[in-house]
Amino acid sequence: MREFEVMLDDNRFLDCVEAGDPDGAPLLFHNGTPGSRLLSASWHRVAAEAGWRLLSFSRAGYGTSSPKPGRTVADVAADSAAVLDHCGAGRFAVWGHSGGGPHALACAALLADRVTTCVSSAGVAPYDADGLDWLAGMGEANIEEFGMLAQGREAALATLDEERQVMLGAEPRELFDSVASLLSEVDRRAMDDDDLSRWLAACLFEGLRDSAEGWADDDLAFVAPWGFDVDELTGDVRIWQGEQDRFVPAAHARWLGANIPGARLELRPEHGHLSLLTAEMFGRILATLPRPA
């Protein structure tokens, strides 16, 4: 694994990581919300064995990546291109989970000449999606989180910062107890996987180490115009979703599958939200992806 920083043209910098096979096919992964650049140690091994070069970075405001108040989902495309350019990677596959899903779609929309395959797993749909009740089926913790955004960025940031400080003082198991309303039974069982639970906790701790800015700006970007239209996406887009997901209900995946031209929808009745992140599922999804050419 290699950790590095990328300086951007606007004098911000991004905190990045590279893992897997350094000579393999590039795959950029966008973590969920809140999160960071960190990837599961078991994913490193799976990617290396499969010949994939994993790249990830902490979005603006997470970890030590410079904040960018007012950023849109679309803004991540330029940041992604800068990371890929720094690494000497041309065409690449992109994958985003949960809050990373819209950011992967942004890359597919705005870097269409470079993105060969886009995966959104358990990713949210646009907030103004026609015919979708965006909050329906979400656990109470998410409904409360998105409800407080009406107060504006500063108030939302203050509220999330209070939650951040509580989280940073918690044990990994306590983190998941605090969002019990979001956990289906299959996701509770997934948390018995020590590698998965330790990674998710470390990813969250790293992302929130200094502030809640990344978290607040992610949430605000999701409920604002994204900066691109998903129905204008072209290329190979794949939507993976667990039917038992209480973080991002399956209705979001169905909407994306119906509104992104040519999208492939993989609905898994046996999965939830976190269970899609096990090393086994990572390997299964990875095995379906064509290599960038």
Instruction: Give the tens place of pLDDT for each residue, 141-189.
Output: 999 999 999 999 999 999 999 999 999 988 877 887 778 899 999 999 9
Read off the tokens for 152.
């504006």
The 10s digit of each residue's pLDDT in 211-235 is 999 999 999 999 999 999 999 999 9
pLDDT tens digits along 32-52: 999 999 999 999 999 999 999
Distances (CA, A) of 123 to 30, 184, 247: 11, 17, 9
User: Tell me, what's the pLDDT at 21?
Assistant: 97
H-helix or E-strand spanning residue 202: helix 194-207
- What is the C-alpha radius of gyration for the chain, rounded to an integer number of angstroms? 17
Residue-range domains of the chain with CATH: 2-287 (3.40.50.1820)
Alpha helix (H) residue ranges in 51-95:
76-86
Percent of all residues in the chain with a pLDDT value above 90, rounded to a whole number: 94
Residue 179's pLDDT is 82
d(CA 156, CA 278): 31
Mean pLDDT for the chain overall: 96
Ordered DSSP codes for 205-271: HHHTSS-SHHHHHHHHHHHS--SS-GGG--SEEEEEEETT-SSS-HHHHHHHHHHSTT-EEEEETT-
User: Residue 279 pLDDT > 90, yes or no?
Assistant: yes
| DSSP H helix total and E strand total for the chain | 11, 8
pTM of the model: 0.97
Q: What share of the chain is helix, strand, coil (3-state, %, to 5)?
A: 45, 15, 40
Least confident of 114-123, 160-169, 266-275: 160-169
Question: For residue 128, how many other CB atoms are within 10 A of its CB?
Answer: 11
How deeply is 147 buried, as exposed, middle or buried, from its count of CB atoms within 10 A (0-12, 13-18, 19+)? exposed
pLDDT of residue 189: 93
- What pLDDT is recorded for position 171? 80
Taking each helix axis from N to C end, the angle separating 41-50 and 279-287, rounded to the nearest 10 degrees, works out to: 30
